Amino acid sequence: MQLKESQVAVLEAASADEATSVDALAAATDLPPETVTGAAFELEEADLVAVSERVDETITLTDEGRAYATDRLPEVRLYETALEAGADEAPAQMGQVIGQSGLEGPQVDIALSNYARKGYGAIDSGEITADPDADPSVDAEANALEVLPSDEETAVERVDIDEKTLEGLERRGLADRRESTVREVTLTEAGVTALMEGIETAETIGQVTPDLLTGGDWEDVEFAEYNVEADAERFDGGNVHILRQTAERVKDVLVGMGFQEMEGPHVDADFWINDCLFMPQDHPARTHWDRFALEAPTHIDDLPAQLVADVERAHREGVGADGEGYRSPWDEDFARALALRGHTTSLSARYLAGHEIGEIDPPARYFSVEKVYRNDTLDPTHLLEFFQIEGWVMAEDLSVRDLMGTFEEFYAQFGITDIEFKPHYNPYTEPSFELFGTHPTTGELVEIGNSGIFREEMLEPLGVDCDVMAWGLALERLLMLMYGFEDIRDIHGTLCDLELLRNTEVTY
C-alpha cells in the first residue's frame, strides 16, 4: 500500500488499544496539528483509522489570575492584615490597614469590593472589622486559583471547580474559558493489517514553489488534496458593530410595521428642536449646561415666517379657548440658535410641519434611528451621544391603548415582553409615559424610552388637526435588555468588551 508521508506518520504513531489525540499525534510526528487532522480524515476515509470528536472546555488563568495565584487574592491579603491589626477584636483604621497590607492602585478597590461580599468583615466610615470566623483556606476562588493551570500548554480539561466559582473568576477577569474540539484517532483492524503488511511513502507536495514551476517538476509530483475540515488557527475578522446591526434590525421591524423613515440634520435650530415642541424658552434643558451649541455658524439662516408666527403665538397665548400659553418672552433670535440635536423629535417637528416632504395626511407612520447628543455625565448608563428610535403615528382617533400596543408589538420582536409604563411629563405630550424594561441579569428596571400623545399647543401651529402619538426610545438600552451587559461602555469606546462585540449575534 502507498500512502502520503503525513498519513504514514499518523498511522505509525496511532494505536489500536487507545485513542490518541491530534495534539499528541502532532507532538509524536512533529507535524502541525492541522496536517495531522487532515491525514487522520484521509485515513478514516480509507478505513484505516477511526476518528472520534468531543468538545472540551479548557480553563486557564489570566495574567491577573496568575499574579493572585502567587501573591494571594487582594481581599485575602486585606483580611490577613486586618487580623494582624487586631480588627477581629476592635475596628481598625482602614487607611492604616491598607498601608500595611502593601495593596496598591486598583488592587485596593478590588480588595474592598470583595471583602464584605465574601464575609471577611465589614467596612464602615473609614473603619474595618475582621470576622474572626472567616477562613481564607476555604475561600473557593482562592482555592480555584491554586489548582487552575497557568498557561495554554498545561490547560486542563474541565477541572473540578463548581460552576459558580468559575463564573465568579471569569467575571473578575481572573480565568478564561475556551471550548475546543478534541479529535482522537484509533487504528482500525484494517489499519493494523496495513501496518503489518508494510506501507510505502508516496511523496506529496503541499505547496507550489517557484522551483517546482521553473524546473518543470510540477508535472511529475503528486499534490496533497485540500482539507477544508482541518483545524485552523482562530481568526477574528472584522464585524459590523452590534449597535449598528441592531439599528438595522430596528429599521426592518419598523418598516415591517408600516413605518417610513425620516431624515434630517444633526445640527439644527432650537426652533425645530424645542420651540416647535412647545418647550418654553426658559426651560432648564435649553440652558448652555445641557446643549452643545455651535460656535460657527451660530444661527440658522431662515425659518418659515408663518410657522414662526404661529409657534410664537402658541407660546405666548396658548391654543384653544382655554389655552393660556406661557405668557413669557419669546425671541425669534433665540429660536434660530444652532445646536447638536438633543433628541430626534426635531425631525418629527420638521415632518409634521410639512417642511420636509410637504403636507402629510392621516393615517401615517414615520420613524428614524439616529444619533442625538446630550451634555450628560458619563456613567454606566449614559454617554454624551446615543441612538434614539424616534417615531410617530398620525391618525384620526388615537388613545393610550394604541401607544402601549405599539410598544408591546415592537419590543416583542426583540423578545422583550415585560414592558412597564410610568406616567411622566413632557411639555409637548399629554398624557406622557416613560417605558421601563427588566434587565435580564440584574433584574433591575431600566428606563428605555419616553412617549406620549402630542398636545394641541404643539400640533395646531404645525397645522396638524388629527391625533399624533409619538416616542423616543434608546437603542443602547434596548441592546442592554437584549444582551444583558450592564455598562454602556462595554459596547462603546476604549473600555469596550471585545469578546462581546466579536461573539454576539444579533437575532430577532
Ligand X SMILES: N[C@@H](Cc1ccccc1)C(=O)O
Closest residue by Cα to residue 281 from 256, 316, 253:
316
Q: Does 41 show up as a binding residue in the annotation? A: no
Using CB under 6 A, pick the residue from 29, 60, 129, 429 that binds ligand X.
429
Angle, to 10 degrees, between the axis of helix 74-84 and the axis of helix 94-101?
120
Closest approach of ligand X to the CB of residue 409, in Å? 18
Give the one residue of 35, 60, 451, 504 binding ligand X; rule: CB under 6 A.
451
388 belongs to an annotated ligand binding site: yes
Closer residue to ligand X (CB): 430 or 497: 430
User: Least CB distance from residue 77 to ligand X, whole Å?
Assistant: 47
Size of the site for ligand X (CB under 6 A): 10
Nearer to ligand X, 72 or 371 (CB): 371
> What's the min distance (Å) between Cβ of 404 and ligand X?
14
DSSP letter assigned to residue 291: S
3-state secondary structure of 65: helix
Contacts of 94 (CB under 8 A, 6+ apart): 123, 126, 127, 128
**Min. distance of Cβ 376 from ligand X in angstroms?**
12
User: Least distance in Å: CB of 280 to ligand X?
Assistant: 15
Residue nearest ligand X, CB atom distance? 472
Q: How far is the CB of 459 from ligand X (least distance, A)?
A: 12
The residue among 130 and 273 lying less far from ligand X, judged by its C-beta, is 273
Cα dist. 320→312, 458, 460, 464, 478 in Å? Answer: 15, 12, 9, 14, 38
Q: Which helix (H) or strand (E) holds 143?
A: helix 140-147
Task: Choose between 191 and 452: whose C-beta lies nearer to ligand X.
Answer: 452
Nearest CA among 34, 389, 4 for reference residue 202:
4
Comparing CB distances to ligand X, the nearer of 122 and 285 is 285
Q: What is the DSSP letter of 337?
A: B
* Segment near ligand X (CB under 6 A); pick from 91-99, 163-171, 316-324, 450-458: 450-458
Q: Which three cell numbers stand for residue 34?
A: 492541522
446 grid coordinates: 431600566
Across the strands, what pairs with 283?
A: none
Peptide bond preceding 440: is omega within 30 degrees of 0, i.e. cis?
no
Size of the chain, expressed as the number of residues it contains = 508
Cell numbers describing residue 97? 490597614
Yes or no: say if 397 and 388 are a contact pair by the CB < 8 Å rule.
no
Q: Which span sits near ligand X by CB under 6 A: 6-14, 303-311, 410-418, 470-478?
A: 470-478
User: Which positions from 399 through 428 interact with ligand X, judged by CB under 6 A?
Assistant: 426
Please state, in angstroms and rounded to a whole number, the distance separating the CA atoms of residues 234 and 87: 50
Nearest approach in angstroms of CB 102 to ligand X is 49
Site string for ligand X, 307-346 (x = CB under 6 A): ------------------------------------x-x-
SS3 of 285, please?
helix
Cβ distance to ligand X smaller for residue 105 or 284: 284
- The minimum distance between CB 449 and ligand X, in angstroms, equals 7
Range in contact with ligand X (rule: CB under 6 A) among 78-86, 158-166, 403-411, 466-474: 466-474
User: Looking at 278, 472, 488, 504, which residue binds ligand X (CB under 6 A)?
Assistant: 472
DSSP secondary structure letter of residue 203 = P
Stretch binding ligand X (CB under 6 A), from 108-116, 125-133, 194-202, 468-476:
468-476
Cell numbers linked to 115: 471583602
161 is in an annotated binding site: no
Residue 430 is labelled as binding a ligand? yes
Q: Which of 38, 168, 318, 452 binds ligand X (CB under 6 A)?
A: 452
User: Are 445 and 467 within 8 A, CB to CB?
Assistant: no
60 is a contact residue toward ligand X (CB under 6 A): no
Pick the closest to residue 45 from 231, 227, 232 (CA basis): 227
CA–CA dist 477, 475 (Å, integer): 5
Instruction: Pick between residue 89 and residue 420 the one whose CB is nearest to ligand X.
Output: 420
For residue 429, the minimal CB distance to ligand X (Å) is: 5
One-letter amino acid identity for 203?
A: E
Peptide bond into 297 cis (omega under 30): yes
Q: What is the DSSP letter of 286?
A: G
Task: Find the binder of ligand X among 450, 458, 461, 462 (CB under 6 A).
Answer: 450
Q: Compute the distance between CA of residue 36 and CA of residue 497 in angstroms, rounded to an integer.
A: 35
Q: Give the cell for residue 440.
A: 435580564
Q: Is 115 or 411 the residue whose CB approaches ligand X more closely?
A: 411
Min dist. Cβ of residue 392 to ligand X (A): 7
Confirm whether residue 390 is marked as ligand binding: yes
Q: Which residues contribute to the annotated binding site for Mg(2+)?
A: 430
Tell me which residues touch ligand X (CB under 6 A). 343, 345, 426, 429, 450-452, 470-472
Q: Which residues contribute to the annotated binding site?
A: 345, 388-390, 428, 430, 454
